[in-house]
Protein backbone atom coordinates (compact mmCIF):
# COMPACT_ATOMS: atom_id res chain seq x y z
CA UNK A 1 0.00 0.00 0.00
CA UNK A 2 1.33 3.42 -0.94
CA UNK A 3 1.53 5.64 2.15
CA UNK A 4 -0.32 8.92 2.17
CA UNK A 5 1.79 11.97 1.48
CA UNK A 6 2.41 14.15 4.51
CA UNK A 7 0.17 16.95 3.33
CA UNK A 8 -2.88 14.65 3.34
CA UNK A 9 -2.52 13.64 6.97
CA UNK A 10 -3.92 16.90 8.35
CA UNK A 11 -6.22 19.57 7.01
CA UNK A 12 -4.14 22.55 5.99
CA UNK A 13 -6.77 24.98 7.25
CA UNK A 14 -6.17 23.61 10.76
CA UNK A 15 -2.42 24.09 10.56
CA UNK A 16 -2.35 26.79 13.25
CA UNK A 17 -4.08 24.39 15.65
CA UNK A 18 -1.64 21.53 15.17
CA UNK A 19 0.80 20.37 17.78
CA UNK A 20 4.48 21.13 17.30
CA UNK A 21 5.06 17.49 16.32
CA UNK A 22 2.41 17.57 13.62
CA UNK A 23 3.73 20.84 12.27
CA UNK A 24 7.16 19.26 11.99
CA UNK A 25 5.71 16.25 10.17
CA UNK A 26 3.73 18.46 7.82
CA UNK A 27 6.66 20.68 6.93
CA UNK A 28 9.22 17.88 6.64
CA UNK A 29 10.53 17.25 3.10
CA UNK A 30 11.39 13.60 3.70
CA UNK A 31 7.92 12.25 2.80
CA UNK A 32 8.40 8.93 4.61
CA UNK A 33 11.92 8.79 3.22
CA UNK A 34 15.34 9.28 4.80
CA UNK A 35 15.76 11.60 7.75
CA UNK A 36 18.94 12.79 6.02
CA UNK A 37 16.67 15.24 4.17
CA UNK A 38 15.79 17.03 7.41
CA UNK A 39 19.43 17.14 8.50
CA UNK A 40 20.91 18.33 5.19
CA UNK A 41 20.44 22.12 5.71
CA UNK A 42 22.14 21.95 9.11
CA UNK A 43 25.00 19.85 7.77
CA UNK A 44 25.59 22.28 4.91
CA UNK A 45 25.51 25.27 7.25
CA UNK A 46 28.01 23.69 9.65
CA UNK A 47 30.27 22.26 6.98
CA UNK A 48 29.77 18.73 8.34
CA UNK A 49 29.19 15.39 6.67
CA UNK A 50 27.73 12.14 7.91
CA UNK A 51 29.66 8.87 7.88
CA UNK A 52 27.57 5.76 7.24
CA UNK A 53 28.83 3.34 9.89
CA UNK A 54 25.93 1.31 11.34
CA UNK A 55 26.72 -0.50 14.60
CA UNK A 56 25.04 -1.83 17.72
CA UNK A 57 24.52 1.06 20.12
CA UNK A 58 21.64 0.11 22.47
CA UNK A 59 22.05 0.61 26.23
CA UNK A 60 21.18 -3.02 27.07
CA UNK A 61 24.83 -4.27 27.07
CA UNK A 62 25.59 -1.66 29.75
CA UNK A 63 23.56 -3.63 32.28
CA UNK A 64 26.56 -5.95 32.69
CA UNK A 65 29.27 -3.25 32.56
CA UNK A 66 30.94 -1.89 35.71
CA UNK A 67 29.58 1.49 36.89
CA UNK A 68 27.34 1.82 33.81
CA UNK A 69 24.99 -0.75 35.38
CA UNK A 70 24.39 1.25 38.54
CA UNK A 71 21.16 2.61 37.11
CA UNK A 72 18.85 1.46 34.29
CA UNK A 73 18.32 3.80 31.36
CA UNK A 74 16.59 2.33 28.32
CA UNK A 75 17.13 5.38 26.09
CA UNK A 76 20.93 5.39 26.34
CA UNK A 77 23.58 3.99 24.04
CA UNK A 78 26.22 1.38 24.77
CA UNK A 79 29.58 1.84 26.42
CA UNK A 80 31.14 -0.18 23.60
CA UNK A 81 29.90 2.41 21.08
CA UNK A 82 31.61 5.16 23.08
CA UNK A 83 34.78 3.09 23.39
CA UNK A 84 34.91 2.46 19.64
CA UNK A 85 34.55 6.17 19.05
CA UNK A 86 37.32 7.03 21.52
CA UNK A 87 39.58 4.42 19.91
CA UNK A 88 38.91 5.83 16.46
CA UNK A 89 40.35 9.22 17.41
CA UNK A 90 42.97 8.04 19.92
CA UNK A 91 45.90 8.81 17.58
CA UNK A 92 44.67 12.36 16.90
CA UNK A 93 44.64 13.51 20.53
CA UNK A 94 47.00 12.65 23.37
CA UNK A 95 44.47 13.17 26.18
CA UNK A 96 41.29 14.50 24.58
CA UNK A 97 38.67 16.47 26.49
CA UNK A 98 35.30 14.88 25.76
CA UNK A 99 31.83 16.47 25.85
CA UNK A 100 28.34 14.99 25.90
CA UNK A 101 25.86 17.92 25.67
CA UNK A 102 22.94 15.52 26.37
CA UNK A 103 24.59 13.47 29.11
CA UNK A 104 21.62 11.27 30.10
CA UNK A 105 22.80 8.55 32.48
CA UNK A 106 26.46 9.34 31.86
CA UNK A 107 27.69 6.63 29.48
CA UNK A 108 30.09 8.98 27.68
CA UNK A 109 31.52 10.44 30.88
CA UNK A 110 31.95 7.08 32.62
CA UNK A 111 33.66 5.51 29.61
CA UNK A 112 35.86 8.57 29.17
CA UNK A 113 36.97 8.24 32.78
CA UNK A 114 37.85 4.57 32.26
CA UNK A 115 40.21 5.82 29.53
CA UNK A 116 41.66 8.58 31.69
CA UNK A 117 40.12 11.31 29.50
CA UNK A 118 38.70 14.46 31.18
CA UNK A 119 35.06 14.96 30.29
CA UNK A 120 32.15 17.37 30.52
CA UNK A 121 28.46 16.63 30.46
CA UNK A 122 25.38 18.84 30.27
CA UNK A 123 22.02 17.47 31.36
CA UNK A 124 18.69 19.25 31.69
CA UNK A 125 16.81 16.63 33.70
CA UNK A 126 17.76 16.86 37.41
CA UNK A 127 17.35 13.13 38.03
CA UNK A 128 19.66 12.20 35.15
CA UNK A 129 22.10 14.93 36.19
CA UNK A 130 22.17 13.38 39.68
CA UNK A 131 22.68 9.85 38.33
CA UNK A 132 25.57 10.90 36.08
CA UNK A 133 27.21 12.97 38.82
CA UNK A 134 27.10 10.05 41.28
CA UNK A 135 28.46 7.60 38.70
CA UNK A 136 31.61 9.62 37.99
CA UNK A 137 32.35 11.14 41.41
CA UNK A 138 32.55 8.20 43.81
CA UNK A 139 35.04 5.63 42.52
CA UNK A 140 37.29 6.27 45.53
CA UNK A 141 34.76 5.14 48.18
CA UNK A 142 35.93 2.16 50.24
CA UNK A 143 33.71 -0.84 49.30
CA UNK A 144 33.71 -2.19 52.85
CA UNK A 145 32.66 1.13 54.35
CA UNK A 146 29.92 1.28 51.74
CA UNK A 147 28.66 -2.22 52.56
CA UNK A 148 28.79 -1.55 56.30
CA UNK A 149 26.62 1.52 55.82
CA UNK A 150 24.17 -0.44 53.68
CA UNK A 151 23.95 -3.21 56.27
CA UNK A 152 23.18 -0.65 58.97
CA UNK A 153 20.51 0.96 56.77
CA UNK A 154 18.82 -2.35 56.06
CA UNK A 155 18.81 -3.41 59.71
CA UNK A 156 17.33 -0.07 60.74
CA UNK A 157 14.75 -0.09 57.94
CA UNK A 158 13.44 -3.54 58.77
CA UNK A 159 12.98 -2.61 62.43
CA UNK A 160 11.05 0.61 61.76
CA UNK A 161 7.40 0.65 62.76
CA UNK A 162 6.46 4.18 61.71
CA UNK A 163 8.73 5.77 59.10
CA UNK A 164 8.68 9.56 58.85
CA UNK A 165 8.70 9.43 55.07
CA UNK A 166 5.59 8.94 52.98
CA UNK A 167 5.38 8.30 49.26
CA UNK A 168 4.96 11.41 47.07
CA UNK A 169 1.31 12.40 47.30
CA UNK A 170 1.09 13.65 43.71
CA UNK A 171 1.97 10.19 42.37
CA UNK A 172 -0.42 7.24 42.34
CA UNK A 173 1.83 5.35 44.73
CA UNK A 174 -0.93 3.08 46.07
CA UNK A 175 -1.51 1.93 42.49
CA UNK A 176 2.15 1.84 41.53
CA UNK A 177 3.10 -0.47 44.41
CA UNK A 178 1.46 -3.21 46.45
CA UNK A 179 0.74 -1.94 49.97
CA UNK A 180 3.39 -4.03 51.83
CA UNK A 181 6.02 -3.14 49.21
CA UNK A 182 5.12 0.54 49.43
CA UNK A 183 5.45 0.43 53.20
CA UNK A 184 8.92 -1.11 53.00
CA UNK A 185 10.04 1.42 50.38
CA UNK A 186 8.96 4.21 52.74
CA UNK A 187 10.97 2.61 55.55
CA UNK A 188 14.07 2.34 53.37
CA UNK A 189 13.82 5.89 52.05
CA UNK A 190 13.28 7.27 55.57
CA UNK A 191 16.42 5.53 56.77
CA UNK A 192 18.50 6.87 53.87
CA UNK A 193 17.20 10.38 54.59
CA UNK A 194 18.39 10.06 58.19
CA UNK A 195 22.00 9.73 57.06
CA UNK A 196 23.83 12.89 58.11
CA UNK A 197 26.99 13.27 56.02
CA UNK A 198 29.84 14.68 58.13
CA UNK A 199 32.42 14.64 55.33
CA UNK A 200 32.55 14.42 51.51
CA UNK A 201 33.04 10.64 51.61
CA UNK A 202 29.87 10.16 53.66
CA UNK A 203 28.02 12.49 51.29
CA UNK A 204 29.17 10.29 48.43
CA UNK A 205 27.91 7.20 50.28
CA UNK A 206 24.52 8.81 50.84
CA UNK A 207 24.33 9.74 47.15
CA UNK A 208 25.14 6.16 46.24
CA UNK A 209 22.33 5.01 48.55
CA UNK A 210 19.87 7.32 46.79
CA UNK A 211 21.09 6.12 43.39
CA UNK A 212 20.68 2.47 44.44
CA UNK A 213 17.23 3.22 45.85
CA UNK A 214 16.11 4.97 42.65
CA UNK A 215 17.42 2.10 40.53
CA UNK A 216 15.13 -0.47 42.23
CA UNK A 217 11.87 1.51 42.26
CA UNK A 218 10.48 0.21 38.97
CA UNK A 219 11.53 -3.36 39.80
CA UNK A 220 9.58 -3.03 43.07
CA UNK A 221 6.52 -1.61 41.35
CA UNK A 222 3.59 -2.87 39.29
CA UNK A 223 5.14 -1.06 36.34
CA UNK A 224 7.57 -1.74 33.53
CA UNK A 225 9.57 0.55 31.27
CA UNK A 226 9.99 -0.78 27.75
CA UNK A 227 10.76 1.94 26.79
CA UNK A 228 7.80 3.94 28.10
CA UNK A 229 6.36 3.54 31.59
CA UNK A 230 3.26 1.36 31.84
CA UNK A 231 1.54 -1.22 34.02
CA UNK A 232 2.43 -4.92 33.89
CA UNK A 233 -0.50 -7.07 35.05
CA UNK A 234 1.52 -10.29 35.21
CA UNK A 235 4.26 -8.87 37.43
CA UNK A 236 4.60 -10.29 40.94
CA UNK A 237 6.65 -8.44 43.57
CA UNK A 238 7.41 -9.94 46.98
CA UNK A 239 6.79 -7.88 50.12
CA UNK A 240 10.48 -7.68 51.02
CA UNK A 241 11.61 -6.86 47.47
CA UNK A 242 12.83 -3.35 48.44
CA UNK A 243 15.28 -4.77 51.01
CA UNK A 244 16.37 -7.65 48.80
CA UNK A 245 16.87 -5.58 45.65
CA UNK A 246 18.60 -2.75 47.51
CA UNK A 247 21.06 -5.23 49.05
CA UNK A 248 21.64 -6.80 45.64
CA UNK A 249 22.30 -3.45 43.96
CA UNK A 250 24.60 -2.43 46.83
CA UNK A 251 26.71 -5.57 46.42
CA UNK A 252 26.95 -4.84 42.72
CA UNK A 253 28.17 -1.30 43.43
CA UNK A 254 30.70 -2.61 45.95
CA UNK A 255 32.08 -5.07 43.39
CA UNK A 256 32.44 -2.27 40.84
CA UNK A 257 34.17 0.02 43.34
CA UNK A 258 36.67 -2.72 44.10
CA UNK A 259 37.15 -3.32 40.36
CA UNK A 260 37.78 0.37 39.64
CA UNK A 261 40.21 0.74 42.52
CA UNK A 262 42.19 -2.37 41.62
CA UNK A 263 42.17 -2.17 37.82
CA UNK A 264 41.80 1.56 37.16
CA UNK A 265 43.62 3.17 40.08
CA UNK A 266 45.49 5.50 37.74
CA UNK A 267 42.29 7.16 36.49
CA UNK A 268 40.32 7.52 39.74
CA UNK A 269 41.01 11.27 39.89
CA UNK A 270 40.31 11.96 36.21
CA UNK A 271 38.06 15.05 36.20
CA UNK A 272 34.47 14.57 35.08
CA UNK A 273 32.23 17.61 35.36
CA UNK A 274 28.45 17.46 34.95
CA UNK A 275 26.50 20.68 34.51
CA UNK A 276 22.78 20.97 35.20
CA UNK A 277 21.32 23.12 32.48
CA UNK A 278 20.30 23.61 28.87
CA UNK A 279 23.05 22.76 26.38
CA UNK A 280 21.68 25.42 24.01
CA UNK A 281 22.63 28.21 26.40
CA UNK A 282 25.14 26.82 28.88
CA UNK A 283 28.76 27.65 28.06
CA UNK A 284 31.72 25.43 28.94
CA UNK A 285 34.74 26.72 30.88
CA UNK A 286 37.17 25.42 28.24
CA UNK A 287 37.41 23.98 24.76
CA UNK A 288 36.81 20.29 24.08
CA UNK A 289 38.28 17.95 21.47
CA UNK A 290 35.54 15.37 20.97
CA UNK A 291 31.74 15.44 21.22
CA UNK A 292 29.95 12.11 21.58
CA UNK A 293 26.22 12.30 22.08
CA UNK A 294 22.75 11.18 21.18
CA UNK A 295 20.22 14.05 20.97
CA UNK A 296 17.07 13.65 23.09
CA UNK A 297 14.01 12.12 21.49
CA UNK A 298 11.97 15.29 21.88
CA UNK A 299 9.04 14.11 19.79
CA UNK A 300 9.05 10.47 20.85
CA UNK A 301 9.41 10.32 24.63
CA UNK A 302 8.22 12.34 27.60
CA UNK A 303 11.19 12.05 29.97
CA UNK A 304 9.31 13.54 32.90
CA UNK A 305 6.45 11.06 32.67
CA UNK A 306 8.83 8.18 32.04
CA UNK A 307 10.98 8.95 35.09
CA UNK A 308 8.37 10.59 37.33
CA UNK A 309 8.56 7.73 39.87
CA UNK A 310 12.27 8.20 40.52
CA UNK A 311 12.04 12.00 40.33
CA UNK A 312 9.18 12.11 42.82
CA UNK A 313 10.70 9.70 45.34
CA UNK A 314 14.05 11.53 45.23
CA UNK A 315 12.29 14.85 45.94
CA UNK A 316 13.00 16.60 42.65
CA UNK A 317 9.51 18.09 42.75
CA UNK A 318 6.28 18.15 44.73
CA UNK A 319 3.95 18.02 41.71
CA UNK A 320 3.96 17.07 38.06
CA UNK A 321 4.15 20.76 37.20
CA UNK A 322 7.29 21.17 39.28
CA UNK A 323 8.90 18.13 37.66
CA UNK A 324 8.17 19.54 34.21
CA UNK A 325 9.44 22.99 35.17
CA UNK A 326 12.70 21.58 36.55
CA UNK A 327 13.25 19.37 33.51
CA UNK A 328 12.49 21.51 30.49
CA UNK A 329 14.70 24.54 31.08
CA UNK A 330 11.88 26.88 30.15
CA UNK A 331 11.21 25.13 26.83
CA UNK A 332 7.49 24.68 27.54
Q: Parallel, antiparallel, or unpaired: how do β-strands 229-231 and 223-225 relate?
A: antiparallel
Preceding omega of 227 cis (within 30 degrees of 0): yes
Which pairs from 259-265 meet CB under 8 Å and 24+ separation?
259/66, 260/66, 260/67, 260/139, 261/139, 261/140, 261/143, 264/114, 264/139
Local confidence pLDDT in tens for the 332 residues of the chain: 344 343 444 444 444 555 555 666 566 555 444 556 667 777 888 887 777 766 665 666 777 899 999 998 877 788 998 999 999 988 888 889 999 999 999 999 999 999 999 999 999 999 999 999 999 999 999 999 999 999 999 999 999 988 889 999 999 999 999 999 999 999 999 999 999 999 999 999 999 999 999 999 999 999 998 778 889 989 999 999 999 999 999 999 999 999 999 999 999 999 999 999 999 888 888 899 999 998 776 556 778 888 999 999 999 988 888 888 777 654 44
pLDDT of residue 321: 87
pLDDT of residue 296: 75
Burial of 221 per CB tally in 10 Å (0-12, 13-18, 19+): buried
pLDDT of residue 130: 97
pLDDT of residue 115: 95
pLDDT of residue 36: 63
In contact, 313 and 217? CB cutoff 8 Å: yes
In contact, 100 and 93? CB cutoff 8 Å: no
**Which structural domains are found in the chain, ordered by start?**
60-138+266-296 (3.40.50.150), 143-263 (no CATH)
Phi, psi values for residue 230, rounded to 5°: -160, 165
Alpha-carbon gap, residue 314 to 323, rounded angstroms:
11
Degrees (nearest 5) of the Cα angle 146, 78, 285? 75
In contact, 63 and 77? CB cutoff 8 Å: no
- Coil vs helix vs strand at 177: coil
In contact, 212 and 245? CB cutoff 8 Å: no
Q: Tell me the pTM.
A: 0.82
Nearest Cα residue to 265 out of 257, 277, 273: 257
Question: How would DSSP label each residue in 266-324?
Answer: GGTT--EEEEES-TTTPPPSS--SEE------TTT--HHHHTHHHHHHTTS-SSHHHHH
pLDDT of residue 247: 98
pLDDT of residue 151: 98
Alpha-carbon gap, residue 151 to 303, rounded angstroms:
33
Amino acid sequence: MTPLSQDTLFRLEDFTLLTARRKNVLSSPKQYGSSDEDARPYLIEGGWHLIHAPQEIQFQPNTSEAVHRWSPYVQGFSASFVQRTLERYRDEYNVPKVLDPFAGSGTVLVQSKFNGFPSFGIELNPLLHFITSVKVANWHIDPQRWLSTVEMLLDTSRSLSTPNFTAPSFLKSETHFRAPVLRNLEKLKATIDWLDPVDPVMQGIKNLCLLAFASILIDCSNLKRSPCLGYCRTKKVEDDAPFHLFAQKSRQIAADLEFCQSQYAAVLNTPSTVFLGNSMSLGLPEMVDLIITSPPYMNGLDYVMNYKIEMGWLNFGQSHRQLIKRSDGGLR
